Amino acid sequence: MNRAITFYWDNLGPMHVDRLEAVKNRFPGLDIIGIEIREKSNVYDWSKPNVRGVDRITLFRGKDKPTFATHALKLIKSCFSTKGDIFFFCNYEEPVTFLAATILRFLGKKVYVMGVTKFDDQRRKLWREVGKRVFMLPYSGALGSGNRPKDYFRFLGVPEKHIYSEYNTLSIARIRTQAKVEEGDEVPFSKRNFIVIARFVPKKNLSVALEAFAKYTATASVPRRLVLCGSGPLEADLRSLCVELQIAHLVDFFGFLQTEEVSRELARALCLLLPSVEEQFGNVVIEAQALGVPAILSEVCGARDLLIRNAVNGFVVEPDNPDGFAFFMQLIGENEKLWGSLAKAALKSADCGDVSHFADGVSAILLRHEMYPTHGNLLRNSTSD
């Protein structure tokens, strides 16, 4: 078996770079290839990160959407050029991805699907779910995160023994290094604020965050500020809602931030708010926990399964319940002892979201196919099926 494994994503943003580098660090004897559709994300305005020790293949420059034929030909040609035998694909529901995975599987390659979609992300239609089961046929297994995505992969026909974890992970070391918090420089409890880090789109449900903040300020003895980090089509509506709720003087719009800036802002925060009505995972929860910041988040967020223990390192609330969010905001904002306990527990649980667990999942898959690195340690921290 060739000593190369290939990963395919829309764009090699910071989170994917973390994962590629973790696999490379675990297996220095393997060739690690990252294929991206385009060099700039259509969703996030990330600066292009460097990828150390990994071969990067970009299919298209710019943001123009390629035709199906052009995309398929470039992807398949790039996969063949890697000379590898194991592939990890995202976006299994895309026809281009399905075609490439089918051809690779027909030629005897091992193809794994990566994802964190849950059954409860949206209302499901029978015909569409049947179609997804067909699109899942080329795959040898899946790499997911938490219980609900694993359940969904089983629903789509992936055998339980061929589902590995954890997919949605980040480098805890990178986040802490970016925050640049020296011992003794921590922001005191009294000067910390609530923070939201999200795109300004409907599924993030930010109007509920603002409604909750308004309810909190109405009862708090000394209201804290709310920092909104992000951008999107709803920004004007959110600013208008702040005025309507009479909280504009307490809300700061910081715009889209790069990962380094996100880490620094989180290091100064009291608590993360994530009230989404649809959230496959919520990587920002990992970032918050890496810096000892508790979270109040919606029960639909996939991260709550893996990372949040209610009343231990955060709180879980229904997404349509601003009163519930406001209650916990006041509880945390006015009780330093409680906040300290939650923050300490958040810091302790941060390892659950560390990128080393992504490398563990890949390790288990390599072990299954008896594919070992050419030098260095054999598969560490791995489990077979």
- E strands, the chain, are 4-9, 31-38, 55-60, 86-89, 110-114, 141-144, 163-165, 193-197, 226-229, 251-255, 269-274, 295-298, 314-317
Q: Each residue of 166-209: pLDDT tens digit?
A: 999 999 999 999 998 776 678 999 999 999 999 999 999 999 99
Residues contacting residue 88 through CB under 8 Å, at least 6 positions apart: 5, 6, 7, 8, 111, 112, 113, 114, 143, 362
Q: Each residue of 203-257: pLDDT tens digit?
A: 999 999 999 999 999 999 899 999 999 999 999 999 999 999 999 999 999 999 9
On the 0-12 / 13-18 / 19+ scale of CB atoms within 10 A, 116 is buried
**Alpha carbon distance 360, 167 (integer Å):** 10
Residue range(s) occupied by CATH 3.40.50.2000 in the chain: 4-169+355-368, 173-352
CATH number, domain 4-169+355-368, options 1.20.120.160, 1.10.3720.10, 3.40.50.2000, 3.40.50.300: 3.40.50.2000
Specify the pLDDT at position 384: 35
3 state SS of 195:
strand
Global confidence as pTM: 0.93
Residue with tokens 């409860």: 120
Q: Each residue of 90-101: pLDDT tens digit?
A: 999 999 999 999
Q: Splitting the chain (385 residues) into consecutive groups of 10 residues, what average pLDDT does each group show? A: 86 96 94 94 85 93 86 97 95 97 97 96 94 97 95 97 97 96 82 98 98 97 96 98 98 97 97 98 97 97 96 98 98 98 97 98 93 47 38
3-state helix, strand, coil split of the chain in percent (to 5) is 45, 15, 40
For the CA atoms of the chain, what is the radius of gyration? 21
CATH number, domain 173-352, options 3.40.50.2000, 3.30.460.10, 3.40.50.300, 3.90.1150.10: 3.40.50.2000
Task: Classify the C-alpha dihedral 206-212-217-220 as positive or negative.
Answer: negative
**Alpha carbon distance 284, 229 (integer Å):** 11
Pair 232, 201: CB distance under 8 Å = yes
**Alpha carbon distance 361, 384 (integer Å):** 10
DSSP state of 184: T
Specify the pLDDT at position 184: 64
Specify the pLDDT at position 183: 64
Cis bond leading into 166, ω under 30°?
A: yes
